């Protein structure tokens, strides 16, 4: 089979479409939403409206730039979940309408599974089994990947995601949204050992980041009590220290997971995998541990339809289609 699939991603604040042919991604069209910046975070209702405004143009551009006609499509893929319900509903509804009009099957895709499978867009591709640290604004998971469609979560956050910790810390500092990339930017000029933050102890391979945000809030409160300009004067060192602390928390669990499973193929995925500190420290730890490290291209770290397309390709090969009565899921387990 040489399937041609149109994939649609609309789980949060990016409207994206991609066409894949025989496992090769032909394009990856993304429309981001700047409307959320002034609110300091994603507003679900505004995200849904922006998806409605963008989706026709995004899909049209994906079809035109791929050189594929609608009649050549073998299936329509879409993100079913997890994500914002209203945002997901736009993509699901569009996929249903297009699939009905063309009389072709639909393929539902788990957004988190697709993040892992982003590693199969370009070379080098990891061999099975491998461990994938999937880190984003909504999720922090260590995934044991046994095959393209067989994955098991062996560790995850019990409260906030690491991406949320980055963004909330940035907001506490008074940095604009999205704050995670700004922390990364300032951290590159700072001293990662300037300040220490408390460790969070969790059982097994799980994470917890809610306490870090609270500790960081009190840390700044106390410092600003004696120096109101503390953040402005020490922003680089603050960001570097916080980033180093969060990265250490992540990689400590990855190292433990590797030791427990004996797996040395290690990957990262999700929006936070674009963080330069995480990428650098993972490479350094990988060299020390003798790991094979897999880090996705920046364009495939954040939400995108190319990863949805790759996941759909492998599901198509298994004839894993869904019916027209499918509904989006705000919460959707990986397995």
pLDDT digits (tens, 9 = 90+) for 21-78: 999 999 999 998 888 888 888 899 999 999 999 999 999 999 999 999 999 999 999 9
Per-residue model confidence as pLDDT tens digits over 4-14: 999 999 999 99
The helix/strand/coil state of 14 is: strand
Any residues with CB less than 8 A from the CB of 216 and at least 6 apart, and which? Answer: 169, 172, 197, 242
pLDDT at 34: 82
Per-residue model confidence as pLDDT tens digits over 283-298: 999 999 999 999 999 9
Comparing CA positions, the residue from 197, 210, 217 lying closest to residue 160 is 210
The better pLDDT of the pair 121, 34 is held by 121
pLDDT at 82: 97
What's the whole-number mean pLDDT along residues 157-166?
Answer: 94
Which residues fall in the annotated binding site for Fe cation? 111, 115, 303
Q: CA-CA distances (angstroms) from residue 238 to 174, 179, 193, 196?
A: 13, 13, 9, 10
**Lookup result for tokens 């894993």:** 320
Which residues fall in the annotated binding site? 111, 115, 134-138, 167, 180, 184, 275, 303
User: How far is CA 20 from its chain centroid?
Assistant: 20
And the tokens for 84? 């914002």
pLDDT at 39: 83
What single DSSP character describes residue 13? S
Please tell me the least confidently modeled range out of 68-77, 127-136, 195-204, 238-247: 195-204
d(CA 335, CA 333): 5
And the tokens for 2? 């040489």
What's the whole-number mean pLDDT along residues 178-204?
Answer: 94
pLDDT at 199: 82
313 C-beta neighbours (distance < 10 Å), count: 26
Q: Cα-atom radius of gyration of the chain, to the nearest Å?
A: 20
pLDDT at 177: 86
pLDDT at 320: 98
Mean per-residue pLDDT of the chain? 96
Which residues fall in the annotated binding site for substrate? 134-138, 167, 180, 184, 275
What's the whole-number mean pLDDT along residues 151-169?
Answer: 95
The helix/strand/coil state of 108 is: strand
């Amino acid at each position: 089979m040489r399937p041609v699939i149109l994939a649609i991603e609309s789980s949060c604040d990016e409207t994206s479409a991609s066409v894949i042919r025989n496992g090769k991604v032909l394009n990856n069209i993304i429309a981001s939403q700047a409307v959320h910046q002034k609110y300091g975070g994603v507003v679900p209702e505004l995200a849904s409206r922006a998806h409605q405004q963008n989706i026709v143009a995004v899909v049209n551009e994906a079809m035109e730039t791929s050189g594929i006609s609608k009649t050549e499509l073998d299936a329509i893929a879409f993100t079913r979940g997890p994500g914002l319900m209203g945002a997901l509903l736009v993509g699901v509804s569009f996929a249903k309408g297009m699939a009905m009009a063309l009389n072709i099957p639909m393929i539902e895709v788990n957004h988190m599974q697709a993040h892992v499978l982003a590693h199969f867009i370009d070379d080098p591709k990891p061999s099975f089994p491998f461990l994938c640290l999937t880190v984003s604004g909504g999720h922090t998971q260590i995934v044991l990947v046994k095959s393209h469609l067989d994955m098991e979560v062996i560790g995850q956050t019990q409260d906030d995601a690491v991406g949320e910790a980055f963004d909330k810390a940035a907001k506490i500092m008074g940095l604009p949204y999205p704050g995670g990339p700004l922390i990364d930017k300032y951290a590159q000029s700072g001293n990662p050992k300037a300040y220490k933050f408390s460790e969070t102890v969790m059982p097994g391979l799980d994470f917890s980041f809610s306490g870090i945000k609270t500790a960081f809030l009190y840390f700044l409160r106390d410092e600003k009590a004696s120096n109101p300009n503390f953040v402005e004067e020490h922003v680089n060192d603050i960001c570097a220290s916080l980033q180093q602390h969060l990265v250490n928390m992540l990689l400590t669990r990855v190292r433990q997971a590797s030791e427990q499973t004996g797996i040395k193929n290690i990957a990262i995925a999700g929006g936070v995998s674009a963080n330069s500190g995480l990428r650098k420290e993972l490479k350094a730890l990988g060299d020390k541990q003798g790991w094979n490290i897999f880090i996705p291209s920046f364009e495939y770290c954040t939400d995108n339809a190319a990863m949805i397309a790759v996941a759909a390709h492998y599901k198509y090969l298994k004839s894993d289609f869904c019916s027209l009565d499918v509904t989006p899921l705000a919460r959707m387990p990986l397995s």
